[in-house]
Amino acid sequence: NMQPATKPIRTTCPYCGVGCGVLATPLANGGLAIEGDPDHPANKGRLCVKGAALGETLGLRGRLLDPYIHGKRSSWDQALDLVAQRFSDAIAKHGPDSVAFYVSGQLLTEDYYVANKLMKGFIGSANIDTNSRLCMASSVAGHKRAFGSDTVPGLYEDLELADTVVLVGSNLAWCHPILYQRLAAARETRGTKVVVVDPRRTATCDIADLHLALNAGTDTVLFNLLLAEIARRGLIDHGFAANLDGMEDALAAAQATPLSSTGLPHADLTRFLDLWTASERVVTVYSQGINQSESGTDNVNAILNCHLATGRIGKPGMGPFSVTGQPNAMGGREVGGLANMLACHLDIDNPDHRDAVRGFWQAPRIAEKPGLKAVDMFRAVEEGRIKALWIMCTNPALSMPEADRVARAIKGCDFTVVSDIVAQTDTTRLADVLLPATGWAEKDGTVTNSERRVSRQRRALAAPGQARDDWRIMADVAKRMGWADAFDWTGPAQIFAEHAALSGVAGGLGSDFDISDYRATTAPEYDRMEPFLWPQSPSRQGGRFFGDGLFQTPSGRGRMVPIFPANRRPVDIAAPFTLNTGRVRDHWHSMTRTGRAARLSRHIAEPFLELHPRDAERLGLAPAGLAQVENEHGRAILRVLITDRAAPGHPFAPIHWTGETSSAGRVSSLVPGLTDPISGQPALKSAAVNISAF
């Protein structure tokens, strides 16, 4: 029965950081009819194929419906008692830093807030990190270095107002499809010039006026060359530069950068320099190709330097723009859900900030130093330094670099709790305690998209089985650990209001993240809440940042950072190929949701290795044959796809597939756990591998 049972419920898509509004209409058959929300500013009614197929991903098949302890079904009370006991015991015996939470950019902000409050304020450790570390930690670190705060300066509409849009390490067409459609439509009407900077010729190149297939890992060289050219052409905005530190050093580093290593034809490089410098309205969009690198933070600052030097930032149609991979990476940043953050963009290293947060929470203690970032956290698990680990809403045994090693580490941990909506994942099968969580359309809360717009996710379906909301599960454990008053909420509206009130305290300390206008939000107001841009405070409502030359650093001045491009690694003869990884258009992460909709496998149905004809010939690989890809960390078996979209020596494979029963698609198992030294973000975009016929 496909008849609507009630009127549409306004909610938000759970996939990418575009954050599209969705109308979900409950049907008499228990399902949902899905449409785009014409009133949501991010998508104005459009949905991509993933969002449009959300109704086909529902149902109980494969869901985790009950708590389990060591593989046996248990009651909630038994499971929660055990979790509270084991965490309390570990803390009592080994101290607060012997426990850790590994959470997710797919948690709602309210869930994230509770996790952060419990770990940093009550347990007293900062050992909470998130899969967002794998996604945009380098952008956070780059923003903080340049602006003094993790603030996205611009808005989506800037892509529509720009004369030139440069997309760096971003396959926007597949990874942020609605933003891509908005850009493509603007290009049709106003002739926007589009430049794609990517070693691989992706689908996004369909609308590119210029594709710069630079050598992998040479983004800092390209943007240093641009900065030097900006200076040479006399385009430094000296009025704006009066608000900046570091210009001289950044310029000197840029001017000393040799021309050669990008591998770009001279004519292409010149065209890029001409286009960027000639367009006052220029937006540089960047994503994982920039962030997921050993020099991720420098990559980000090399881009920011060019926008700062020209004053092309925080004004209509101008600015650098980090697009986030996950639906709520931004919400996680706001609550401080990363190991090196506090809450509401306050600093864990600042004693005044710590006192303010502890006072607001009336917490017994507060984390005094940054905690373990994702890669280090699982190393600590491996070494037995973490005695109790709680993984929520994510699948690190598949998605972390050196995934096989991470899986072994989790298996060896004294006590592991996994909260998830899915019964069988690479990670749930390693858990001592499994806790069934509610998923999209079953829970209430908020998410923040890449342009700082907060939107509601709303409940449209009943919770299946015994599943409970993540915030409630954590609050119930916190109460059992002795902190009943601080975790006593009736629902997510109260948590949202508390977070908004804390943001007002943070605003008083100079934080840009201030949504204190919402501090008295009631449950009915929360139900009706419209999407809004932060900040929302008595002093400021939404808008762009930094166009006025005011920054969040202690001095109020912006910072240009001298960037010294790293030497490229010599080729390893045992692993001579550099594997590039990424998403496909119609699947999401480990496919636990998108894998359920048959039509989402019509585009691409199995894991593959895209490689250049010259490489295929050299290796004796035929189209549609099987390739074995391996190195010291792991092995994957992939279908061969021969195409000149991939550069010679630089094959590509998607990240989504698991190898539950074989090593089929387990691509993250091949990626070494190398990280950017500043952000701690792993260099997931590249792995040295050997390839042979299987």
- Residues forming the site for ligand SF4 (CB under 6 A): 13, 15-16, 18-20, 43, 47-48, 50-51, 176-178
Structure tokens at 208: 């590119």
Closest CA relative to residue 375, chosen from 94, 672, 150 = 672
Does the N-terminal peptide bond of residue 607 adopt cis geometry, omega within 30 degrees of 0?
no
Shorter beta-carbon distance to ligand SF4: residue 19 or 634: 19
Nearer to ligand SF4, 324 or 438 (CB): 324
Separation between Cα atoms, residue 52 and residue 353, nearest integer Å: 43
Closer of 19 and 246 to ligand SF4 (Cβ)? 19
Smallest separation, CB 588 to ligand SF4 (Å): 7
**CB nearer to ligand SF4: pick between 51 and 337:** 51
Q: Are 298 and 563 in contact (CB under 8 A)?
A: yes
At its nearest, how many Å lie between ligand SF4 and the CB of residue 156? 11
Mutual angle of helices 296-310 and 247-255, in 10-degree steps: 110
Identify whether the C-beta of residue 435 lies closer than 8 Å to the C-beta of residue 453: no
- The residue with tokens 């898509």 is 13
- Is 50 or 333 the residue whose CB approaches ligand SF4 more closely? 50
We find the least distance from the C-beta atom of residue 376 to ligand SF4, in angstroms, to be 31
- Beta bridge partner(s), residue 283: 165, 319
The CB-of-531 to ligand SF4 minimum distance in angstroms stands at 13
Q: Answer for the pair 158, 363: CB distance below 8 angstroms, yes or no.
A: no
Of 299 and 592, CB closest to ligand SF4: 592
Q: Which residues pair with 652 in a beta bridge?
A: 580, 610
Measure the CA angle with vertex 170, ends 168 and 171; round to 5°.
135
Nearer to ligand SF4 (CB atom), residue 51 or residue 634: 51
**CB of residue 453 to ligand SF4, shortest distance in Å:** 12
Phi-psi region of 311 (alpha: psi -120 to 50; beta: other; left: phi over 0): left
Position closest to ligand SF4 via CB: 51
In the complex with ligand SF4, the residue whose CB is nearer, 445 or 659, is 445
- What is the Cα 367 distance to its own chain's centre? 24
Residue 16 beta carbon to ligand SF4: minimum distance, rounded to whole angstroms: 3
Q: Residue 43 or residue 511: which is nearer to ligand SF4 going by CB?
A: 43
- Residue 471 CA: distances (Å) to CA of 406, 420, 434: 26, 13, 16
Handedness of CA 380, 142, 518, 550 (dihedral sign): positive
CA 235 vs CA 226, 230, 312: distances in Å? 11, 5, 11
Provide the 3-class DSSP secondary structure of residue 624.
Answer: coil
Shortest approach of ligand SF4 to residue 462 CB, angstroms?
23
Shortest separation between residue 54's beta carbon and ligand SF4, angstroms: 8
Q: Which is nearer to ligand SF4, 321 or 487 (CB)?
A: 321
Report how far Cα 45 is from the mean position of its chain's Cα atoms.
24
Contacts of 185 (CB under 8 A, 6+ apart): 160
For helices 470-480 and 76-94, angle between their N-to-C axes, nearest 10 degrees: 60
In order, the DSSP letters of 502-558 are: HHHHHHHTT-S---GGGTT--HHHHHHPPPEESPEETTEES--SSTTS--SSTTS-E
Q: How far is the CB of 104 from ligand SF4 (least distance, A)?
A: 16
Return the number of the residue (144 or 176) whose C-beta is nearest ligand SF4: 176
Under 8 Å between Cβ of 553 and 148: yes
CB atoms near residue 230 (< 10 Å): 22
CB of residue 51 to ligand SF4, shortest distance in Å: 2
Q: Which is nearer to ligand SF4, 39 or 274 (CB)?
A: 39
Q: Cβ 201 to ligand SF4, closest distance in Å?
A: 22
Least CB distance to ligand SF4 at residue 616 (A) = 32
**Distance, first Cα to last Cα, the chain:** 48
